Structure 1
């Protein structure tokens, strides 16, 4: 099976690193040099330092764990300087620590209004939405965070990769394609960029383009097990290059012998080779490591070929339980049950 990427988790970790690092750094800058800290509050407060004073006290109280005291000081700082994006971001971070998500969202939205080109308010807002069970809103904020980050660091490859990953999660394939093509221009020897571009073309059903990019990824990194499995399984699904597909999948399994997706691929290879005993063995191993509708669908096909209709039905039902939108599995199950009547 095609291994679905854990893009969002890596992106969330990246954003979390940003979000959790920005406020301590700002606090360090404030304590190190009051003159530097004034830059955060605008030219109009060079003479009136009330906002800065409250901000410093707020940071100090927050560092001591006095979150209520920090909230009061941040709010006083906001009263003195209501146009500082940093103050709303800082207050939002305290509300997040107190698990007051509604207040945090309000402060972050105000921070973004004041500084729409900033990265951290969008990143923090994405984290809040993720924690609130709102993945679509979270993804929108991650996109804005990374788009802003690319403006600040236009040659940072990792930022572009994260942005491309979010586009993939959102099924915005053309935008993702543009991002990974840009990465290849900036870093033509980056195998991941070719791999992701190949996966995009596969989803777009541009199979020859997908094959071309995946081969480039493997040429740059011969032990790239994700790409080896992806291309191998793609060949199996297209009923071509069956033997080379098996070689690639076996290479992938050397790297990760307990990877359920890779075991499923090898089981499907043996199914294509009509070696049903080996197919069943590897697919059952795959099901042990990975509960996935594709694995159970494949098991159903193998059991049907072996003449075990009951086990075929059981596995197709498991597959549909995990993903009820599989029309082909429904059709197979319907045909089996009607035939048995």
Structure 2
């Protein structure tokens, strides 16, 4: 019987050594444990397997007191961690790591504890050790990256990714790391570096990535490399051609290339994709007006306007385009076409009235239309200004003053033109100092050199 007990004890001691070895990534030589240490250790493992962490911790502590073997500290650290005693867990893990410094599980435990305890510098130190000792544990690259990202430190993201050997990483990971770096460089407005990084590492990156192509478009655009920006925007449209904003951007970039063929191509593609979009047609009409192709510009918009209400909108847009281009007669023609359909659209009534006041023509008709627009929206600052300016042209200065003053009262952000009108009215009313004040406000908003000259004359 005594021989059987001795053999059983030897068997348990042997098993305990193997169990300890299996938990570590190093091959250790353990001292022979006495029966008490072995008994405590095995009881600790049994409770650990059942999730009885308090009991497991108690037995592992006893085993450590008996043996002073640092590997027991690892089990103590694990038990404390599962009991949310992170400070004690970290202390025990750190003690064990002094000897077993290539133990993955210990290092992982130290990372988790330092994170839970918000010991940032220690957390990063342990992460760096993990990456250095176990370079194939790729998840820790991302953990470090996410941590740096959480601090919003774009420069550190770039520096960290620069330390990586992309060729040694799995393709998907290399792609993601590169995208992070490129995005960070873009956020830092280092556009030339974005383009350089893409070209140098093109073999590791997903060239069809939509976000990447958006970054490349904007990077080229910001360094005024418009032709390349156009190329990437075209690619973006081919990858994701559902968003109309992408087509508007293509048109914008095409203008900057100053390449007529690209401008026409951008409009052709856009209208083909969104044939009923009125705003696209308006944009194209602006371009055609620049080329002096007024009839083509008109047809471009009117071709999709079947109802009277849409035709009124179209004529109003055409009139606005013509007015901006200083083609006043063309603008009058379009307003009159709109009014021939209906004289109830308040915007057209107001805009036409204001245009007539600027030209100093048909002021009685302008007054009639302005009154009609105001009857529909009496507190509209733009309509009040129109009425005031018509009255100014009719030399009814006191009435003019009241309307433009009211227009200023009803707007929080008056445009330059409104201050200019008020200044002109004040001037004829012999209120020079007030006039200068409003001319100055007009200049601050609009930066019109003619207004500055006027101010200097008055002073």
Q: TM-score range by the shorter chain?
A: 0.5 to 0.7
Q: Alpha-carbon deviations, 1:135-183, whole Å to 9, x = none?
A: 9659769x776542212344x2525335347749xx9474787344322
When the two chains are superposed, the root-mean-square deviation of aligned CA atoms in Å is: 4.5
One of 224, 231, 237 as aligned partner of 2:358: 237
The 8 Å contact of residues 213 and 233 in structure 2, kept in 1 or not, is answered as no
| 2:440 aligned with 1:322 | no
TM-score by length of 2: 0.44
Judging changes above 3 Å, is the alpha-carbon distance between structure 1 residues 300 and 146 closer, same or farther for their aligned structure 2 residues? Answer: same
| 2:340 aligned with 1:222 | no
One of 234, 259, 267 as aligned partner of 1:112: 234
Distance 2:284 2:388 in 1: 31
Distance 2:357 2:390 in 1: 7
Judging changes above 3 Å, is the alpha-carbon distance between structure 1 residues 249 and 151 closer, same or farther for their aligned structure 2 residues? Answer: same
Unmatched runs of 5 consecutive residues or more in structure 1: 1-67, 130-134
Q: Alpha-carbon deviations, 1:249-290, whole Å to 9, x = none?
A: 122223333322211111112212222222111111222314
**SS at structure 1 position matched to 2:398:** helix
Judging changes above 3 Å, is the alpha-carbon distance between structure 1 residues 82 and 122 closer, same or farther for their aligned structure 2 residues? Answer: farther
Distance 1:108 1:126 in 2: 12
One of 165, 172, 194 as aligned partner of 2:315: 194
| 2:280 aligned with 1:160 | yes
| Corresponding residue for residue 291 of structure 1 | 414
The 8 Å contact of residues 278 and 301 in structure 2, kept in 1 or not, is answered as no
Larger Rg: 2
| Corresponding residue for residue 334 of structure 1 | 456
| 2:450 aligned with 1:310 | no
| Corresponding residue for residue 281 of structure 1 | 402
Q: Alpha-carbon deviations, 1:94-136, whole Å to 9, x = none?
A: x89xxxx769x99996473476697457834967x9xxxxx96
Unmatched runs of 5 consecutive residues or more in structure 2: 1-171, 180-201, 223-227, 258-262
**SS at structure 1 position matched to 2:209:** helix
Q: Relative contact order: is structure 1 or structure 2 higher (C-alpha 8 Å, sep ≥ 6)?
A: 1
Distance 1:117 1:184 in 2: 31
| 2:370 aligned with 1:252 | no
| Corresponding residue for residue 271 of structure 1 | 392
One of 281, 286, 296 as aligned partner of 1:178: 296
TM-score by length of 1: 0.58
Distance 1:108 1:198 in 2: 31
Alignment of 1:57-76 (within 5 A): 72=176
